[in-house]
Amino acid sequence: MAITRRQFITGEVGAGAAGAVGVALSQSPWQARGDDKTAATTTTVPTASSKGTLVLVTLYGGNDGLDTVIPFEDARYLGARGELGNFSDGGHPDGAVIPLADGLALHPALTGLKRLWDARQLAIVRGVGYPAPNRSHFVSMDIWQSGSTDGGSTTGWLGPWLDATGTDPLRAIAVGASVPRILRGEKASATAVPLGPFALPGTPALKAAFGSMQHPDGFDAPLAAAIARSGADLLTTGRTIADVVAGRPESEAGAANLEGVADGADRPGHTGELGEQLSLVARLIKADLPTTVYSVGLGGFDTHANEKAVHAQLLGQLDASITRFFADLEGDPHREGVVMVAYSEFGRRVAANASGGTDHGAAGPVLVAGPRVKGGTFYGDEPSLVDLDDGDLKHTTDFRSVYATVLEGIVGFDARRSLGGPYPRLDLL
């Protein structure tokens, strides 16, 4: 079945959460007084069944797994990668690879992840993918985010959980200006919290009038109702979040958009946009929000050319951001329950291309980090470099096993309701 770009990306179904407007007087900047109070938000508290906090990190573009978790001694890898696989001293700006076990090493930029590995708080799931891999960014990301290889779904693998757990818009937060498919259900979706200031402007009368306009039932057209629904969620979440976010300066990372990855190049340990997002997530976690799932992301992994420099910068940013995130949570009681999962829509081809890069591939590693994680170990088999699927790695672990593991272990939701079938859990929590 052909999936058009718009079908994949639109997420028409489930736009906006079902959150009702619970308007009340408060001392916060969010003084929106409606003249009528529609039913207050229901009291279903999803966190009652959740066992922690899941932080999903999406790496957009197809992260090169073989350049992240490196089979550095394998002659076939070295032969296929040429210059890309050359990490001898002087051959790579950050130095030599960081050996772990099983003939695998971390990319030189991942020094923070090595410390997590040594502290047994980082698990690496190898060879994660799905049958009949698709090499389109959009189709493959659709598969990863929907949790289905059928292509029929327009909702995310956490959609069923969102739809089943009441209407509190804060139970899932996507950092940024929009909500990725992962966190869209048929009826409900996560709240998008942007970086930058989070205060509603205007006079008290304007804020009150704004509040009174946000009634989804008052609009016939579905899109108009969805706009009103988002407005209503903005009010309810704003009252909770505004104080946490107050005083945050506008993200400098936004201004860096124009020059892209190069921004990280001259500043080692620069956390960039991902660092900003995770910094916000850390603050929200410490503020004791009823949030079970957070979503953040980092783009730029589509390294068809000049991969050595680009990938090193990206992994450096990833490493610094994750390290900073867990450091930010040091001393906070919520830290124990935080589990981070970093994934990408596919890995890349085994052989390098002629542009110093790699083309779209298939299976790749998934990183799972957190105090509860049974870390310092690999899960799943390392894909064979001999038995390839038309030049690509064959997957050894189905991505839905990772989802099943975190659905049951952290979110507290029956994985079969999300994934439409049982998938073997990984024993990493």
Phi, psi of 8 (to 5 degrees): -65, -50
Q: 398 vs 126, 171, 263, 275, CA distance in Å?
A: 10, 27, 35, 29
Nearest distance, CB of residue 169 and other proteins, angstroms: 7
d(CA 86, CA 312): 13
Q: Is 139 exposed, middle or buried (0-12, 13-18, 19+ CB in 10 A)?
A: middle
Q: Which is nearer to other proteins, 222 or 424 (CB)?
A: 222
Q: Which is nearer to other proteins, 192 or 369 (CB)?
A: 192
Q: Which is nearer to other proteins, 50 or 230 (CB)?
A: 230
Judge contact between 404 and 422, C-beta under 8 A: yes
Nearest distance, CB of residue 14 and other proteins, angstroms: 8
Which residues pair with residue 369 across a beta bridge? 122, 340
- Full 3-state SS string of 399-410: HHHHHHHHHHHH
Q: Which is nearer to other proteins, 303 or 323 (CB)?
A: 303
d(CA 413, CA 88): 46
Nearest distance, CB of residue 40 and other proteins, angstroms: 18
Nearest distance, CB of residue 214 and other proteins, angstroms: 8
Give Cα 38 to chain centroid, integer Å.
Answer: 33
Nearest distance, CB of residue 261 and other proteins, angstroms: 8
Q: Which is nearer to other proteins, 119 or 177 (CB)?
A: 177
Nearest distance, CB of residue 360 and other proteins, angstroms: 8
Phi, psi of 134 (to 5 degrees): -110, 135
d(CA 263, CA 259): 6
d(CA 428, CA 139): 28
Nearest distance, CB of residue 153 and other proteins, angstroms: 14
Residue 280, classed as helix, strand or coil, is helix
In which residue are the tokens 């109070």 written?
37
Q: Which is nearer to other proteins, 48 or 221 (CB)?
A: 221
Nearest distance, CB of residue 290 and other proteins, angstroms: 16
Closest to 260 in 3D by CA, of 332, 315, 316, 314: 314
What are the helix and strand counts (H, E) for the chain? Answer: 13, 12
- Strand 172-175 and strand 191-193: the pairing is parallel
Q: Which is nearer to other proteins, 18 or 407 (CB)?
A: 18
Write out the H or E segment, with its range, that includes residue 14.
Answer: none
d(CA 17, CA 393): 39
Residue 128, classed as helix, strand or coil, is strand
Ordered alpha helix ranges (H), 329-407: 399-406
Nearest distance, CB of residue 255 and other proteins, angstroms: 8
Q: Which is nearer to other proteins, 24 or 265 (CB)?
A: 265
Nearest distance, CB of residue 156 and other proteins, angstroms: 12
Q: Which is nearer to other proteins, 58 or 323 (CB)?
A: 58
Q: Which is nearer to other proteins, 240 or 323 (CB)?
A: 240
Phi, psi of 326 (to 5 degrees): -70, -30
Q: Which is nearer to other proteins, 138 or 378 (CB)?
A: 138
Nearest distance, CB of residue 280 and other proteins, angstroms: 12
